[in-house]
Chain A
């Protein structure tokens, strides 16, 4: 019995694991909340593009010796606004515009890094994530940004919901849909910045999309989808960190794969909507 308790307690006797858990839990909760809106609006590709584009800013900040967060944040914001601007003009397809901009910014990052002679380990922790290397400062910054994002979602919940569900009617009702669209992109940029350190650029989209998509299979209202998604994200962080500790594997990959497993389970077995029950009904 004590063995079991020790098994569960051991990882958290180390402070870097406590910090890692806090950062991962905060990030995955807020990513699921914003991610719910992202998947409902079909913006998953933008959710992948912003983290990649922010790498350009991270690299510029690294070369200049400035804060990598601020560099990544500025790049993510600029990319978000550029995508919003171009897609509202309607000259080229939205996803084409996204593809052009984010790969350009990412390539800029690679170009700059290729000229750096000094140690680039910090940069690679942004690409692949290094949740166990976060400092207390990182944790507080993450918590502050996450609190701000949640506050904005709470304040503008009504507008975000209406615009995601029925933008035509929202606009006809006098809701400022253009501002809501840009605002959502800015929220996405903020989540990107705090998620980069935790799971890394290439896996941010998983935190945005996977827990939210799992929650959509289990709920029938946006507000509960956000809460259930956040709970799945937090649970995946805890389970993922255990897996990382005992199997000695990458924490970010373990967190993401735990979330993926949760999605597969919900996809197969969600009440009424699971593939297993639906498959049976179709055969009958």
Chain B
């Protein structure tokens, strides 16, 4: 069945000719790209480019109209929970009465099945995920008492307890200051060295350009994918952002902004 034996490895994520949308409205058209295992990959594109749609498809929350999605060689509709996931922070109610460790434990819920409660093993996994993101001391705090950077790390700890090898993160940098952002990137890089594959939707092109291994530039279709330096050409960016972006390269650093 799987005729794609051309790659040296199984792809962490292999999207092939995917089209999708809502209510007859097309959001993605003929999207094709691959991400190799053990890398830090960015998903970038303007608002309305279909990033959220693509994320839903990879998570198995939305069925594509056509095309194929395969995660670590497993084709078909992705199993819910097989991909670790972190939603956008503004989708989360931070005033909600839950502690940090409650939130992290939620990553185990999907795998438990209805009615079953998390057990000792689930709590151990949650505790080690909290330790991994250096939040053990905060375990009993109400989630809203955390700082912006700590909130991201709590959500990442929750994604870690899902134990997927592919992690999908939606806008983890939004609203963070530079120090918190660098802290998060070094956490991502160390997760990659531990064998995780991170696929991160972000608006921060400069950060992808400097620190990521791969980039997918999306605007309804894939405009370019590969190494960031090859993807973020003036030509491609102009196509994706309709000439609204400015690219400044100076030495090692790149600034891409509106």
Q: Give the A-B pair count, Cβ closer than 8 A.
A: 83
Chain A residues with Cβ below 8 Å from B91 are 166, 168
Besides A172-B80, A173-B111, 19 new A-B residue pairs in contact (Cβ under 8 A), listed by A number: A158-B109, A158-B115, A161-B98, A161-B106, A164-B96, A165-B92, A166-B87, A166-B91, A166-B92, A169-B85, A169-B106, A172-B61, A172-B81, A174-B110, A175-B110, A176-B114, A222-B96, A222-B97, A225-B97
A136-186 interface (Cβ within 8 A of B): 155-156, 158-159, 161-162, 164-166, 168-176
B59 within 8 A of A: yes
The CA of A222 and the CA of B96, in the complex, are separated in Å by: 8
The CA of A156 and the CA of B112, in the complex, are separated in Å by: 12
A115 within 8 A of B: no
B118 within 8 A of A: yes
CB <8 Å contact, A165 and B109: no
B142 within 8 A of A: yes
Among residues of B, the one whose C-beta sits closest to the C-beta of A180 is B114
CB <8 Å contact, A166 and B106: yes
A268 to chain B, nearest CB (A): 18
B189 within 8 A of A: no
CB <8 Å contact, A221 and B80: no
B102 within 8 A of A: yes
Among residues of A, the one whose C-beta sits closest to the C-beta of B55 is A172
Chain B residues with Cβ below 8 Å from A216 are 97
Contacts A40-B93, A169-B87 given; does A158 touch B81 at CB 8 Å? no
The CA of A219 and the CA of B98, in the complex, are separated in Å by: 9
Closest 5 A-B residue pairs measured CB to CB? A173-B110, A174-B80, A220-B142, A172-B59, A174-B110
Among residues of A, the one whose C-beta sits closest to the C-beta of B112 is A158
Chain B residues with Cβ below 8 Å from A40 are 93, 96-97
B50-105 interface (Cβ within 8 A of A): 59-61, 79-81, 83, 85-87, 91-93, 96-99, 102-103
The CA of A170 and the CA of B158, in the complex, are separated in Å by: 12
CB <8 Å contact, A175 and B87: no
24 residue pairs A–B, Cβ–Cβ below 8 Å: A155-B115, A158-B112, A158-B115, A161-B102, A165-B103, A166-B93, A169-B86, A169-B87, A169-B158, A170-B106, A171-B61, A172-B60, A172-B61, A172-B83, A172-B85, A173-B81, A173-B107, A173-B110, A174-B80, A175-B109, A176-B114, A216-B97, A221-B99, A222-B98
CB <8 Å contact, B59 and A221: no
CB <8 Å contact, A174 and B81: yes
CB <8 Å contact, B96 and A165: yes
CB <8 Å contact, B87 and A168: yes
Contact with A173, one of B92, B96, B99, B162 (Cβ below 8 angstroms): B162
Contact residues of B with A, CB < 8 Å? 59-61, 79-81, 83, 85-87, 91-93, 96-99, 102-103, 106-107, 109-112, 114-118, 142, 158, 162
Chain B residues with Cβ below 8 Å from A159 are 109, 114
Chain A residues with Cβ below 8 Å from B107 are 173
Among residues of B, the one whose C-beta sits closest to the C-beta of A157 is B117
B111 to chain A, nearest CB (A): 8
Most buried by A among B96, B112, B117: B96
Contact residues of A with B, CB < 8 Å? 40, 155-156, 158-159, 161-162, 164-166, 168-176, 216, 219-222, 224-225
The CA of A281 and the CA of B107, in the complex, are separated in Å by: 36
Chain A residues with Cβ below 8 Å from B81 are 172-174
Contacts A173-B110, A221-B99, A221-B102 given; does A156 touch B80 at CB 8 Å? no
CB <8 Å contact, A220 and B97: yes
The CA of A40 and the CA of B96, in the complex, are separated in Å by: 7
Among residues of B, the one whose C-beta sits closest to the C-beta of A41 is B93
The CA of A155 and the CA of B117, in the complex, are separated in Å by: 9
Chain A residues with Cβ below 8 Å from B110 are 170, 172-175
Chain B residues with Cβ below 8 Å from A161 are 98, 102, 106
CB <8 Å contact, B114 and A221: no
B171 to chain A, nearest CB (A): 12
Contacts A165-B103, A165-B106, A168-B87 given; does A221 touch B97 at CB 8 Å? yes
B56 to chain A, nearest CB (A): 8
The CA of A166 and the CA of B151, in the complex, are separated in Å by: 14
A267 to chain B, nearest CB (A): 14
Most buried by A among B99, B103, B106, B115: B106
B232 to chain A, nearest CB (A): 29
The CA of A165 and the CA of B93, in the complex, are separated in Å by: 6
Among residues of B, the one whose C-beta sits closest to the C-beta of A169 is B87
The CA of A173 and the CA of B98, in the complex, are separated in Å by: 18
The CA of A59 and the CA of B236, in the complex, are separated in Å by: 67
Chain A residues with Cβ below 8 Å from B93 are 40, 165-166
Chain B residues with Cβ below 8 Å from A224 are 97
The CA of A174 and the CA of B107, in the complex, are separated in Å by: 11
